[in-house]
Amino acid sequence: MDINTICVHGSAHKTDYTGSVTVPIYQTATFAHLGVGQSTGYDYSRLQNPTREQLENVVAALEHGTDAIAFSTGMAAISAVMELFEAGDHIVISDDLYGGSHRLFHHISEKNGLTFTAVNTTDLLLIEKNIQPQSKAIFIETPSNPMMQITDIAEVAKIAKAHRLLLIVDNTFLSPYFQNPIDLGADIVMHSGTKYLGGHNDTLAGFAVTASNELSEKLRFIFKTVGACLSPFDSYLLIRGIKTLSIRMERQQENALKLAGWLAQHPKIKAVYYAGLPTHHGYEISKRQARGFGSMISFETDSEQTAHQVLERVKLILFAESLGGVETLITYPMLQTHADIPASEREAKGINERLLRLSVGLEASDDIIADLEQALR
């Protein structure tokens, strides 16, 4: 079935027989049993809920996975995946990661005995060089946050399989509409459902999508034990958001391509990081492994003063954290998403006082450009 149809109609498995066009919100904590040893298939909403199950089936279908598990947030999903590992295990990670992932790995997971080596995962030799006897996984973001680095998923998958490591890919920036890491060899795909899957900046959610039943069973056990499940109402909001995923992703990408081209020509902009520009180092890899470039742009202004000026003068664009919604948002990574990363590490990656990150929305592209133009004047 075409991805556009899956987005609109969702899972073929239905739990409602009234003819309701929308998936009902089963706002219940528990389910009654028909008798001793008899069950409807649902016992307690922490374990499973019909509304959440519908959402999970849709996301699994979109990502071509065996299962998708819906968590209360993206960070809850990544935290659960880290529970697959034991004290002493080592993981190679992208050196350009969402700040929340960095915070989890280095302040929580390391405390629990895991070790991490951060490398530029666009360099395959660096990945190979940093694999240790105790390595158990490779964790990558592509495109990465906020420098938009593009890692070759298929090539990293070959390395992971050769060393019997799990490959975990955060696919938040492109969504399953533009990229399917499992098809390229990934074992687990992560999403902050808050972003493009939800698409309206109105709810939090996270997903772990598995490529095998074995991984699904392990994560389901962690899920029910830890209990960071997505609520029925939030599951409903995600189902509703996914119905327009395809048209949102196409329009936002169309806007982003125009904005990236405009920014690249502006005298006060010194660098533009967007995989859809032919000058981007990962442009050819992106074309090979994805069906689109997405709508996330980072750019460097000529000075800290200019960066502050943009943040303070934008009117249509909102100065706010998060991304992937219908509204265009601008973020200051060094003070917001990546504030917990040590300054020396941050600046070495290019996350400095001049860097801004733009999540391009659905407004008319000319209006977004006009707002940036007046803010930069």
- Positions marked catalytic: 46, 98, 170, 195
For 20, 98, 101, 115, 124, the CA distances from 134, given in Å and listed in that order, are 52, 25, 21, 9, 19
Instruction: Say how far apart CA 77 and CA 322 lie, in whole Å.
Output: 17
Angle at CA of residue 314, ends 308 and 319, nearest 5°: 70
Residues 196 and 186: their CA atoms lie apart, in Å, by: 20
Distance CA 356, CA 351 (A): 9
The dihedral built from the CA positions of residue 24, 28, 31 and 32, taken in this order, carries a sign that is negative
> Please, are residues 114 and 135 in contact by the beta-carbon 8 Å criterion?
no
